[in-house]
Amino acid sequence: MNNLINDTKFLTLGGGCFWCTEAIFQEVNGVVNVTSGYSGGTTDDCPSYQTICKGMTGHAEVIQIEYEPEIVSLEELLIIFMTTHNPTSLNQQGADKGTQYRSIIFYETQREKVIIDTVIKELQPYFEKAIVTEIKPFNRFFKAEDRHQQYYQLNKQFGYCTAIIEPKLVKFRKQYAEKLKKSASTTL
C-alpha cells in the first residue's frame, strides 16, 4: 500500500454503517485520513452501494484509516473501534442488519493479527456476550462513492446524522477526550 505521508500505516475495519465509524476516526489525533469503502467480499469489480446493501457481494461497509503510529498506536485505534460499536452483535449494528454491517478487522501482517487477537482477548471480559468481530487478512479495498466520503461533515443537518451519528460522537468525545484532535476537542 502506498503511504501518502512518510511513516503512516493503514487499518481497514468495519463496525456497521461506515458513516458512523468514519465520523469517529476523523476526530482521532494521529489519524491522517479516513476513507469509506467496501472490503471482505468475493467480487473483483468495484461494487456499488446498491449491490452492497443487497448483501450479494460479501463485502462489508468499512473504513480505511491512514494513521501515524508514532502519535496513535494500532492498539489504541483497535480499543476505540471495539468500544464505539457493538462487537458482540452478529451482522447488525442498531437498525442496520445484514452481513454488510458486520464487525470486521483486516490485518496486513502476522504482527498486526497478533495485536488484534490480543486486544480482543483483553477486552472480552468487559462485554457480557462473546465478541464476534471477524478477523481476516486484508485483500482489497474499494473506495465508496464520493457521496459517502465525509458524510457526517457534509450532512450534519440530516436526520441520520442528528439521531444516530451525533449521539455516538458525543459519547466518544467524552470517553476519549485525550485522544481527540485539537479541532475536535473544541466542539465539546
The residue extents of the domains of the chain are 9-181
100 phi and psi angles, rounded to 5 deg: -70, -15
CB 78 within 8 A of CB 115: yes
Q: 10 Å Cβ neighbour count for 32? A: 16
Catalytically annotated residue among 17, 20, 46, 161: 17
Overall average pLDDT of the 71-91 stretch:
97
Range 9-181: architecture per CATH:
2-Layer Sandwich (3.30)
Q: How confident is the model at residue 182 (pLDDT cuts 50, 70, 90)?
A: confident
Nearest CA to 64 out of 45, 39, 36, 29 is that of 36
Conformation bin of residue 58: beta by default, left when phi > 0, alpha when psi is -120 to 50 = left
Pick the range with the lowest mean pLDDT from 49-53, 111-115, 135-139, 166-170. 49-53
Has 161 been annotated as catalytic? no
**Higher pLDDT among residues 63 and 1, named by residue:** 63
Per-residue pLDDT for 6 more than 90?
Answer: no
Note the pLDDT tens digit of each residue in 33-60.
Answer: 999 999 999 888 889 999 998 888 999 9
